[in-house]
């Protein structure tokens, strides 16, 4: 291990634990070892569940939970630079984007603290029916129980925050399994949570083989909710395997955007160039399919391509870099194959489509057939397609023509057209005159169709992580 690499331990029952076996964390940019963490298995996952169970026997009042969450937000702000460097080192995320992620993670905790302070049930209007008259009823929001959280590599801090912060706000203890490629940010956050005064057992972090730890979370009845963010097949399989738990899925997308001829084309081009290629397109809502009204196609691509070509490709540690590496060589090779396949079916590469050193250049393709992988599957890389359309209905049909439904966007100056698109696009969220890659952490965020079955954002995640308990009083 290089001398600059960090070593972090697992957190189980308030103890920092080693297992005798290690997972080495490699930089996706140059393969350097940037850290190592102990490798856990089923035994440690069960110990983590024991610890979570005993923590929940002594509930923390909402004001204490909120104060801890606020302190974590303050610590994240204080240590934002370390947080961003950790994200960048293990995920290969350019520092610019890593800094945004670190600051968003602090917001996620702040929002969760706000929600913890106002977590309340409803009064039921009992005299609205003859059966209820003469009674008073209200609901309490009870924590659902232990939350099993499984997070992906691409937002190794903020997507962990989106599981841990609402769970703690709701009064649930957590057993977290972060992505094996990026466990350091999760353990960094765990250190801040302990420093913020989170008592033992409320957060437990175990890193290790996904199937082994995943099996424990699926099979152990003490886990009442699994919160999973990751790829489509793994997510839906987990849900199938745990029919008696809540299994909340935040999965992939093949993000479409419609650009009408009456849009501010320069603004659209600027926003889309930034959001198709940030973090090399490895965001679940990275812009992938751009549909442009035919009369504006030449003008839009004329504005868009120079912006794409101006993006700085290189070392993610460099503060000027816009586009860094893909998480693995096999992902890079997969995308090169998809480009080759689309070309063989008639698509044209307008820019990129090849490597610079080991890095895939930002790639824009035209004339991609509708059934090419780049048009219908999630690329999860620095690639987008541009396609002309003639009518808004045609554009909406094209945008809807995938199995995904996370977020979509429309650029237009016609309010009626924007609202029509917002109604007709089959997605969990629609942005107007903003790239659909946009997310603020208090928003309800999640998908329909194959993209998922829930909404994150602390207020919405807390609804999922609590049960309503009805109390009826005879007056």
Binding residues (CB under 6 A) for ligand NAP: these are 150-155, 159, 177, 179-181, 210-211, 214, 229-231, 234, 238, 250-252, 284, 378, 380, 406, 452
356 labelled catalytic: no
- DSSP assignment of 104-158 equals HHHHHHHHHHHHHHT----EE-GGGSTTTTTEEEEEEEEE-SEEEEE--SSSTTH
Q: Which is nearer to ligand NAP, 283 or 412 (CB)?
A: 283
Q: Which is nearer to ligand NAP, 28 or 171 (CB)?
A: 28
26 labelled catalytic: no
Q: Are 227 and 378 in contact (CB under 8 A)?
A: no
Least Å distance, CB 331 to ligand NAP, is 8
Number of C-beta neighbours around residue 109 at 10 A: 31
Q: Which residues pair with 203 in a beta bridge?
A: 174
Nearest in space to 433 (alpha carbons), one of 451, 447, 421: 421
Phi, psi torsion values for 238, nearest 5 degrees? -60, -45
Nearest in space to 257 (alpha carbons), one of 65, 412, 122: 412
Least Å distance, CB 129 to ligand NAP, is 41
- Whole-number Cα distances in Å, 246 to 158, 178, 298, 329: 22, 19, 48, 35
Q: Are strands 429-432 and 407-411 parallel, antiparallel or unpaired?
A: parallel
Q: Are strands 407-411 and 348-351 parallel, antiparallel or unpaired?
A: unpaired
Least Å distance, CB 213 to ligand NAP, is 7
Least Å distance, CB 325 to ligand NAP, is 14
Environment class of 310 (CB within 10 Å of its CB; exposed 0-12, middle 13-18, buried 19+): exposed
Q: Are 435 and 287 in contact (CB under 8 A)?
A: yes
Q: Which is nearer to ligand NAP, 152 or 388 (CB)?
A: 152
Tokens of 470: 């009805």
Q: Which is nearer to ligand NAP, 280 or 284 (CB)?
A: 284
Least Å distance, CB 289 to ligand NAP, is 15
Least Å distance, CB 387 to ligand NAP, is 21
Give, for 10, the enclosing helix (H) or strand (E).
strand 10-12
Q: Which of 207, 284, 293, 456 is catalytic?
A: 284
Angle between helix 62-78 and 158-170 (nearest 10) = 160
Least Å distance, CB 394 to ligand NAP, is 26
Q: What is the CA radius of gyration of the chain?
A: 23
Query: In angstroms, how far is CA 384 from the centroid of its own chain?
Result: 20
Instruction: Look at phi and psi of residue 18 and say left if phi exceeds 0, alpha if psi is from -120 to 50, else beta.
Output: beta
Q: Which is nearer to ligand NAP, 388 or 409 (CB)?
A: 409
Q: Which is nearer to ligand NAP, 353 or 457 (CB)?
A: 457
Whole-number Å distance between alpha carbons of 443 and 458: 8
Q: Which is nearer to ligand NAP, 171 or 256 (CB)?
A: 256
Nearest in space to 461 (alpha carbons), one of 439, 440, 446: 446
Q: Which is nearer to ligand NAP, 75 or 217 (CB)?
A: 217
Least Å distance, CB 391 to ligand NAP, is 30
Eight-class DSSP state of 290: E
Q: Which of 44, 115, 193, 250 is catalytic?
A: 250
Whole-number Å distance between alpha carbons of 393 and 400: 11
Q: Which is nearer to ligand NAP, 325 or 452 (CB)?
A: 452
Least Å distance, CB 80 to ligand NAP, is 21
Nearest in space to 69 (alpha carbons), one of 233, 242, 209, 203: 203
Q: Which residues are known catalytic residues?
A: 250, 284
């Amino acid at each position: 291990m290089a001398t600059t690499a960090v070593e972090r331990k697992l957190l189980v029952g308030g103890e920092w634990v080693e297992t005798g076996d290690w997972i080495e964390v490699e930089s996706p940019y140059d393969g350097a070892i940037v850290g190592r963490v102990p490798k856990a298995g089923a035994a440690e996952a069960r110990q983590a569940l024991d610890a979570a169970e005993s923590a929940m026997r002594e509930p923390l009042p909402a004001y204490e939970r909120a104060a801890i969450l606020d302190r974590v937000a303050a610590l994240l702000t204080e240590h934002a630079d370390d947080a961003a460097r950790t994200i960048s080192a293990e995920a290969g995320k350019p520092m610019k984007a890593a800094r945004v992620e670190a600051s968003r993670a602090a917001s996620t905790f702040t929002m969760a603290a706000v929600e913890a302070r106002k977590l309340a049930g409803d009064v039921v209007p009992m005299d609205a029916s003859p059966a209820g008259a003469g009674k008073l009823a209200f609901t309490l929001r009870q924590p659902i129980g232990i939350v099993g959280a499984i997070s992906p590599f691409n937002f190794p801090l903020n997507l962990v925050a989106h599981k841990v912060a609402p769970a703690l706000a709701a009064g649930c203890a957590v057993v977290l399994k972060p992505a094996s490629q990026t466990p350091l940010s999760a353990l960094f956050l765990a250190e801040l949570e302990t420093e913020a005064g989170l008592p033992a057992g409320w957060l437990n972090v175990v890193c290790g083989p996904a199937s082994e730890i995943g099996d424990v979370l699926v099979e152990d009845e003490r886990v009442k909710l699994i919160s999973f963010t990751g790829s489509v097949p793994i997510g839906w399989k987990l849900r199938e395997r745990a029919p008696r738990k809540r299994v909340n899925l935040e999965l992939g997308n093949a993000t479409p955007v419609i650009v009408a001829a009456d849009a501010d084309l320069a603004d659209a081009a600027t926003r889309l160039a930034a959001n198709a290629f940030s973090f090399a397109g490895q965001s679940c809502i990275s812009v992938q399919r751009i549909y442009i009204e035919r009369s504006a196609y030449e003008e839009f691509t004329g504005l868009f391509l120079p912006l794409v070509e101006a993006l700085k490709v290189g070392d993610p540690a460099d503060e000027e870099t816009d586009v860094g590496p893909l998480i693995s060589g096999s992902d890079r090779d997969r995308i090169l194959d998809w480009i080759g396949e689309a070309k063989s079916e008639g698509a044209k590469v307008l820019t990129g489509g090849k490597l610079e050193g080991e890095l895939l250049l930002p790639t824009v393709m035209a004339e991609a057939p509708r059934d090419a992988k780049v048009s219908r599957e999630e690329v999860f890389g620095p690639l987008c397609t541009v396609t002309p359309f003639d009518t808004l209905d045609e554009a909406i049909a094209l945008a809807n023509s995938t199995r995904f439904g996370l977020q979509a966007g429309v650029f237009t100056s016609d309010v009626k057209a924007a609202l029509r698109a917002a109604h007709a696009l089959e997605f969990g969220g629609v942005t107007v005159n903003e790239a659909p890659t946009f997310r603020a952490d208090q928003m309800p965020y999640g998908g329909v169709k194959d993209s998922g079955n829930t909404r994150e954002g602390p207020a919405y995640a807390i609804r999922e992580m609590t049960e309503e308990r009805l109390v009826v009083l005879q007056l």
